[in-house]
A and B are shown apart, each in its own frame.
Chain A
Amino acid sequence: MTLPGANDRPVGLVENEFASVSVRIDGDGNSARLRVEDLRTGEARFLDPLQLEALVHLVDERLDQLLDPSADRWRHDS
């Protein structure tokens, strides 16, 4: 048995003045997945290969919708 995180491969820090995100390839699951952490809030999520592939093929307009602050992060009901 290995400790959680022991199979992590850090990819690096991706940041600019608007956001700071740390990216790791996580190896704790049965196959690899990406762990992305918002360093300003400490919240993190995993993205599996199929989700990442979906991001690659996302049309720009859909990506823009995700950037609307009200879309997910700052909703009136959040």
Chain B
Amino acid sequence: MTAVLDDLIHPDKVHGSLYTDQAIFADELRKIWYTTWVFVGHESEVPQANDYVRKRLGLQDVVMTRDKDGEVHLLLNRCAHRGNQVCDDDKGNSGSFRCPYHGWTYRNTGELLGYPYNQGYGGKNKLELGMGKVPRVASYQGFVFGSFAAEGPSLIEHLGAAAGEIDRLVGLSPEGRVGLSAGWLQHKTKANWKLLAENETDGYHPQFVHGSIFGVTGSPIGALYSDSSTAVTRNLGNGHSENDLRPEFRKFDEPMRWFGTTADRVPDYVAAMRETHGEDAERRMIEGAPHVMIFPNLFIAEIQVFNIQPVAVGECIQYATAVQLAGGGELNKRMISQSIGSVGPAGMLLADDTEMYERNQRGVETLTPEWLDVRRGLHREQVDENGFTIGTATDETGMRGFWAHYKTLMEA
């Protein structure tokens, strides 16, 4: 594979077959989705002991459970007997799961508690079987990730500088916590997952793809991604990238401008932030939420969180929800309302992004000119004070960071 990838991934261009080749997709499942840390869900989706919720990790049907002691587990939804699906409901509360096929019963940590008519196995506790488990589960600020690799970098090592972006989101909560408890919109997308991952911090597209909504709402978002914007695109390492809009918001120096509102429109929230964070509250409310793509599938778009999961080489699902800030007061309902307007299958932003993903997929399936160009801004990249490569608001610095990490994993 190494020689092949050297041919397909260059610093300034990537080959179209990366989005269409079944063998490459199969390789990605093994080397990325079933190896590295993948975002699965949030602890706030299983708030009580013995809560569970069904999730996806790559092509795997996963049950995220919270056991009686509060620990979160990712079980594979498959009975150890005949391979039947154990949990059928999307969510529930149960300390144990009973397979409907032959009654095998498991603790919500995956251990087999027993099976009916145990003389057929020579008595009880005779089988060294259980539900499959994602070997490593870790969470950061409640964001739950799973890795099928028994060994490898820790979640903190994987997140690297992107952890600070999650912290920035959580720092907008007067109680220092966020929840993803507003349900998920599930958007079926006929495109390769990488087209989405690349687009999330592509600051070049918003004025074109989203011009229709920016124009009719008078949104200032378009200007953030113009040639004169002071925002930067940052390669955060490990495939993560961000559009750092803080330089623009600092310029205006207005609390809550990042949310498209003013402090007097959300007085309870602003008061709670000042109460908790003192003088630093103003900085937080001026700089706003992150716009960060965390490799391979977690996208935090200010007030929305996306979970991207592949289905096939040319299909994936975008799960999207609104961030809920603990102690966020009136802001939380506004975040839900704004998210409904923006994302999901009818969203006034994401439906258009998704249309582009799907047209892009059809485009890359045609044979020539074979390559996708990712050189925008390569000649003007700089290194910031923390050693990260940065480009301007519209440069493809994030995509190049994505591909560099992708290549590392695929060559491993």
A68 touching B93, Cβ below 8 Å: no
Whether a CB of chain B sits under 8 angstroms from the CB of A43 is no
Which residues does chain A contribute within 8 Å of B113, judged by CB atoms? 64, 67-68
Tally of contact residues, A, Cβ under 8 A: 15
Contact A74 B93 (CB under 8 A): no
Contact B103–A67 (Cβ < 8 Å): no
Pick the contact of B114: A18, A60, A70 (CB < 8 A): A70
CB distance from B67 to the nearest CB of A (A): 10
Identify A17's interface contact among B92, B118, B124, CB under 8 A: B92
Asked whether A70 lies within 8 Å of B124 as measured between CB atoms, the reply is yes
Q: Which residues of chain A have C-beta atoms less than 8 A from B89's C-beta?
A: 16-17
**Residue on A with the closest CB to B88?**
A17
Q: Mark A53-78, 1 if CB is under 8 A from B, else 0.
A: 00000001000100111110111100
Q: Inside 8 A of A76's CB, which chain B residues have their CB?
A: 117-119
- Write the nearest CB–CB distance from B275 to chain A, whole angstroms: 40
B92, B114, B119: which contacts A67 (Cβ < 8 A)?
B114
Contacts of A74 in B (CB 8 A): 103, 116-117
Kindly state the separation between the CA atoms of A19 and B95 in the bound complex, as whole angstroms: 12
Q: Looking at the complex, which one of B98, B114, B119 makes contact with A71 (CB distance below 8 Å)?
A: B114
Task: Tell me the complex Cα distance, A47–B89, Å.
Answer: 30
Q: Give how many B residues have a beta carbon under 8 Å from the other chain's beta carbons.
A: 22
Alpha-carbon separation in the docked complex, A71 to B114 (Å):
8
A70: min CB distance to chain B, Å: 4
Dominant secondary structure of chain A at its interface with chain B: loop
A60 to B68, CA, bound (A): 10
Given known contacts A64-B107, A70-B115, is B94 in contact with A16 (CB within 8 Å)? yes
Q: When chains A and B are docked, how far (Å) is the Cα of A64 from the Cα of B119? A: 19
Within 8 A of A (CB), among B355-412: none
Chain B nearest Cβ from A77, distance in angstroms: 9
CB neighbours of A69 from chain B (8 A): 98, 103-105, 114-116
The reply on B97 being an interface residue by CB < 8 A is yes
Return the chain B residue nearest A78 by Cβ: B117
The contact of B92 among A16, A68, A71, A75, by CB within 8 Å, is A16
Please measure, in the bound complex, the distance between the C-alpha atom of A75 and the C-alpha atom of B123, giving whole angstroms.
10
- State in angstroms the CA–CA spacing of A69 and B117 once bound together: 8
The distance from the CB of A63 to the nearest CB of chain B, in whole angstroms, is 8
B115 partner residues in chain A, CB cutoff 8 A: 68-70
Seen from chain A, the residues whose Cβ lies within 8 Å of a Cβ on chain B are 16-19, 60, 64, 67-71, 73-76
Chain B: residues with CB nearer than 8 A to chain A? 68, 87-89, 92-94, 96-98, 103-105, 107, 113-119, 124
29 contacting pairs across A/B (C-beta < 8 A): A16-B89, A16-B94, A17-B88, A17-B92, A17-B94, A18-B94, A60-B68, A64-B113, A67-B96, A67-B113, A68-B113, A68-B114, A68-B115, A68-B118, A68-B124, A69-B98, A69-B103, A69-B104, A69-B115, A70-B114, A70-B116, A70-B117, A70-B118, A70-B124, A71-B114, A74-B103, A74-B117, A75-B117, A76-B118
Interface contacts beyond A16-B89, A17-B92, A69-B104: sample of 15 additional A-B pairs, CB < 8 Å, sorted by A = A16-B93, A64-B107, A67-B96, A67-B113, A68-B114, A68-B115, A69-B103, A70-B114, A70-B117, A70-B118, A70-B124, A74-B116, A74-B117, A76-B118, A76-B119
